[in-house]
Amino acid sequence: MTSRQNMTGAAALVTGGSRGIGAATALRLAREGADVAITYVRDKEAAEEVVRRIEALGRRGLALRADSADPVEAVESVRRAAETFGRLDVLVNNVGVGLLGPLDSLSLADVDRVLSVNVRGVFLASQAAALHLGRGGRIITIGTCMTQRVPGPGGTLYTTSKSALVGLTKALARELGGRGITANIVHPGPIDTDMNPADGPFGAGQAAMTAVGRFGTADEVASMVAYLAGGEAEYVTGAEFSVDGGHAA
């Protein structure tokens, strides 16, 4: 993806792309001109619907069943996307487990699950993608506003896992910068998705924690990802970007 102002001819992989921020990101990248692969774990029908919408935009789409908690599947999904499209230009590490709860309620199994998906899976996918990315390649990771401001109890495990991705992003920027590959992280705030609906039981309280007094949309996060994936962001790397309505202000 060398010196390209749009993404025509590029190939992207969005992990966890069957719904929410992942689906919005996959569709936005397709509208920008990229062929897009997505991963999913359970909802094959939703993943295939995203692929149909990608193809309706005139781009190639691919749905890959892959559990990021499985180290083999995390790596294999990257290989299959690159093999199918003949290249890989963008990796969006979107998949994540949002487990919240009191510290004394978290089991060892909870810790292992969250860290295996949110940290190990992201590391392995990034490591695998680096084998395929050329100059102009992008690694974009979805973090959380809770790495910058934890508004209350219950977020120790989730915040620990997402904070690790800040360090990973900065290290990847240094590791891969000489090859013309950038790495950045986007921190969404409260986003209206089926996992965290704005009209849900906690919606009003979350909206009140933002400066603008509302939830964001998945498309608003996707627009930031699209900027970082495009040619205008060649000099942007190792950076954190908040799309949180002022949650951390």
Q: What residues are labeled active site?
A: 158
Cβ neighbours of residue 134 closer than 8 Å, sequence gap 6 or more: 1, 2, 87, 89, 179, 180, 181
Cβ neighbours of residue 105 closer than 8 Å, sequence gap 6 or more: none
The residue among 169, 174, 163 whose CA lies nearest residue 184 is 169
Do 219 and 24 meet the contact criterion of CB atoms below 8 Å apart?
yes
The 8-class DSSP code of residue 13 comes to: E
Do 158 and 99 meet the contact criterion of CB atoms below 8 Å apart?
yes
Do 181 and 137 meet the contact criterion of CB atoms below 8 Å apart?
yes
Calpha distance 89→98 (Å, rounded): 27
Calpha distance 140→146 (Å, rounded): 18
Do 161 and 118 meet the contact criterion of CB atoms below 8 Å apart?
yes
